[in-house]
Amino acid sequence: MNAMAQDGRAAVWAVVDSDIGPLLLAATDEGLVTVGFHATDTVRDKALDRLGSRLGTEPVHTPDSPLLTEPMRELGEYFAGERHDFGLPLDWSLVTGFNRQVLRELASGVPYGAVVGYGDLARRVGSPGAAQAVGLAMGANPLPIVVPCHRVVESDGGIGGFGGGLETKRHLLALEGVLPQPLF
């Protein structure tokens, strides 16, 4: 396969360094479609195979693609503490139904430096009692950091789970001033 899907959408990817380790970024002509944590060769290859299967096209390694320029810049600014809101176009094609509804609410309704409980987020989308389903939606989020699932915590004050690992979640929450910066 080439970089063009049957519907004409290009899919490109690159790995960028960040304060939390290498991130896999993938984009289509619709916008950023994937942010993947811990993008070692093995993790990256598995994620790209899954992404290619879902998009119907093989993503092409194109680190200088204009489709990735803005995501790279905005993520760099975020990690430098200079950006609190992302203005990126997003390709939501990997998310449907309840998960899409929850992730869109999270992206628009939980600002930098704030947190929300799983149950509170479920109520916001009209599904009180669906806290576990919200947790599953967070775990399936293809756009972490940009769609800030790290800002979703347990109602009893616990940090909750995180696909990128708890240390990554703590780092992101500390960056946003929610948790104190580690001493070491």
| Residue showing tokens 């915590």 | 153
- Burial class (CB within 10 angstroms; exposed 0-12, middle 13-18, buried 19+) of 172: buried
Residues comprising the chain, all counted? 184
Residues with a known catalytic role? 149
Taking each helix axis from N to C terminus, what angle separates 97-109 and 131-139, rounded to the nearest 10 degrees? Answer: 90
Q: How far apart are CA 149 and CA 172, in angstroms?
A: 10
29 in the Ramachandran plot: left (φ > 0), alpha (ψ -120 to 50) or beta?
alpha
Separation CA 142–CA 104 (nearest Å): 12
- pLDDT tens for the chain, 184 residues long, are 344 444 446 799 999 999 999 999 999 999 999 999 999 999 999 999 999 999 998 999 999 999 999 999 999 999 999 999 999 999 999 999 999 999 999 999 999 999 999 999 999 999 999 999 999 999 999 999 999 999 999 988 889 989 999 999 999 999 999 988 665 5
